[in-house]
């Protein structure tokens, strides 16, 4: 019944010839509608939290002002995170992850505003916590439901965008096959033209075609500049959206994206994800969590420091030079776990099982990862993150950088105390190069797929089973 109604709506929208359809990417009406529903969700969440906390709806002017500010901030921050842009063709988990990050920023801004205006004491912390939880639930449910309905419609032939692909070689066929297998995107490939066999006048072909084409995709090699110019000239009288699909599948890319260089569009073939808002979110995450953790474990830090000093000669802390963000050399701190000794110049011997250099206390500290606790100071310094690729000794980097492809790409983000490789079991001694290759593989996956949600997941997994590990010597 629901699908039948959607089909009726879809046909009606086509009949009245709306510019791009109510549910198309460029609909201002739909954009305003979604913003309005977001505001309603935030307000309803706040009122529900108020009733839960105070058992009545007689809300004060102060609380109502807070709700209004929160609703306005939500629409503003969501715009910065591109929440209101089309997600056609994007993975739903990436969208939800971006949505959760945006909500977290709104909550941090509200908390910061309350602190700066010294009005925090006027509000119930229980109410604010409940408001946050209810808002997350309502916004995620609303967005998830909206995406589900849109994908359901598109999978059944509604809310489609008809596409013509003009290509050369295997790229066009691969692109068409991918789109055909992902019906939820709502893209429907009507025809594929090889560059050599396309009609002499593509514009005339489109005019004579009975189908309403929404987009034309140019799946051409990077060097096909003259061909692109020719096609654009033929299409100069048409307002159809034209997209250029870059043939970059043969390149070894890391966190590729698009950017603007002094007005020139450019493709980032290899770049750090820690730019713009991502960098701010990561810094806030690190500073807040590191400060909280140091505050909680400070008695433990003192106990371990005294124990290290009393059980063996030497300094309490061990300092080692390792590569940080962008390959800069930093000092990384740990509790000393070995007897004092000297390595050969330019050589760092990895700890092994039953290593005679490790003290009895050090063996326990290494096995439980408690020796890593001083690195939270590195996080407060801004030289490390709580989550990121583990930093290796400078000597190890020199050895592996020529042996493992893309090894140094690990340094596109700050090194971390824990990481995706570690919670997946890739830690400890790397006596064979394949072990280091797997660690690098997981580190690069983390960089490619970074999100606040992934960081929180890694922290959670570290707490559950990441401290004690059989590979930690």
Tell me the pLDDT tens digit for each residue of 446-461.
988 888 888 988 998 8
More confident residue, 415 or 346: 415
Quote the pLDDT of residue 22.
Answer: 43
- In sequence order, which residues have a C-beta less than 8 Å from that of residue 148 and are 6 or more positions away? none
Predicted TM-score (pTM) of this structure: 0.56
User: What number is the average pLDDT over the span 1-11?
Assistant: 44
Quote the pLDDT of residue 258.
Answer: 60
The position carrying tokens 């709700």 is 67
The whole-angstrom distance between residue 199's C-alpha and the CA centroid of its chain comes to 43
Would you state the structure tokens that stand for residue 440, as one six-digit string?
A: 């690098």
Summarised one tens digit per residue, pLDDT across range 250-284 is 555 555 566 555 555 566 666 677 777 788 888 88
- Percent of the chain clearing pLDDT 90 (strictly above): 12
Residue 246: left if φ>0, alpha if ψ -120 to 50, beta else—which one? beta
Going by pLDDT thresholds of 50, 70 and 90, the confidence category of residue 8 is very low
Give the integer Cα–Cα distance in Å for 156 and 306.
68
pLDDT of 26 over the 90 cut: no
Summarised one tens digit per residue, pLDDT across range 420-435 is 988 888 776 666 778 8
Question: In which residue ranges of the chain is CATH 3.40.1360.10 found?
Answer: 161-250
Summarised one tens digit per residue, pLDDT across range 153-179 is 666 666 677 788 887 667 777 777 777
CB atoms within 10 A of CB 31: 15
Would you state the structure tokens that stand for residue 116, as one six-digit string?
A: 């700066």
Give the integer Cα–Cα distance in Å for 327 and 394.
10
Mean pLDDT of the chain: 77
Summarised one tens digit per residue, pLDDT across range 354-412 is 677 888 888 888 888 888 889 999 999 888 999 999 888 787 777 787 778 778 888 88
CATH number for domain 161-250, candidates 3.40.1360.10, 3.40.50.2300, 3.30.565.10, 3.40.50.1370: 3.40.1360.10
């Amino acid at each position: 019944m629901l699908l039948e109604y959607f089909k009726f709506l879809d046909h009606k929208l086509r009949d009245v010839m709306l510019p791009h359809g109510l549910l198309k990417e460029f609909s201002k009406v739909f954009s305003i509608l979604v913003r309005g529903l977001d505001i309603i969700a935030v307000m309803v969440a706040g009122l529900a939290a108020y009733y839960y906390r105070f058992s009545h709806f007689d809300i004060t002017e102060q609380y109502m002002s807070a709700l209004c500010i929160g609703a306005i901030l939500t629409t503003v921050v969501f715009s910065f995170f591109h929440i209101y842009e089309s997600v056609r063709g994007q993975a739903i988990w990436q969208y939800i992850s971006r949505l959760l990050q945006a909500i977290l920023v709104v909550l941090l801004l509200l908390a910061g505003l309350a602190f700066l205006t010294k009005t925090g004491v006027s509000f119930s912390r229980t109410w604010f916590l409940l408001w946050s939880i209810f808002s997350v639930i309502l916004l995620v449910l609303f967005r998830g439901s909206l995406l589900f309905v849109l994908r359901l419609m598109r999978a059944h032939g509604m809310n489609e965008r008809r596409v013509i692909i003009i290509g050369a070689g295997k790229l066009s066929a691969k692109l068409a096959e991918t789109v055909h297998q992902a019906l939820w995107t709502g893209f429907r490939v009507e025809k594929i033209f090889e560059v050599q066999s396309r009609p002499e006048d593509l514009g005339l072909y489109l005019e004579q075609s009975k189908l309403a084409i929404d987009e034309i995709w140019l799946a051409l090699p990077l060097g096909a500049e003259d061909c692109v110019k020719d096609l654009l000239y033929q299409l100069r009288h048409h307002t159809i959206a034209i997209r250029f699909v870059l043939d970059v599948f043969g390149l070894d890319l890391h966190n590729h994206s698009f950017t603007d260089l002094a007005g020139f569009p450019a493709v980032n073939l290899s770049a750090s994800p820690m730019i713009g808002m991502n960098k701010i979110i990561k810094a806030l995450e690190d500073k807040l969590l590191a400060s909280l953790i140091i505050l909680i474990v400070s008695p433990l830090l003192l106990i371990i420091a005294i124990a290290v000093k009393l059980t063996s000669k030497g300094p309490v802390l061990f300092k080692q030079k390792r590569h940080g963000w962008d390959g800069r050399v930093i000092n990384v701190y740990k509790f000393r776990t070995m007897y004092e000794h000297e390595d050969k110049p330019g050589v760092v011997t990895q700890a092994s099982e039953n290593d005679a250099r490790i003290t009895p206390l050090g063996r326990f500290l290494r096995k439980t990862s408690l020796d890593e606790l001083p690195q939270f100071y590195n996080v407060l310094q801004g030289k490390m993150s709580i989550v990121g690729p583990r930093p290796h000794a400078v000597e190890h980097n020199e050895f592996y950088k020529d042996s493992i492809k893309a090894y140094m790409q690990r340094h596109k983000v700050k090194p971390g105390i824990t990481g995706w490789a570690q919670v997946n079991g890739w830690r400890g001694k790397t006596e064979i190069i394949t072990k280091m290759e797997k660690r690098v593989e997981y580190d690069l996956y983390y960089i490619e797929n970074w999100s606040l949600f992934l960081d929180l997941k890694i922290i959670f997994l570290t707490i559950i089973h990441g401290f004690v590990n059989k590979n930690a010597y």
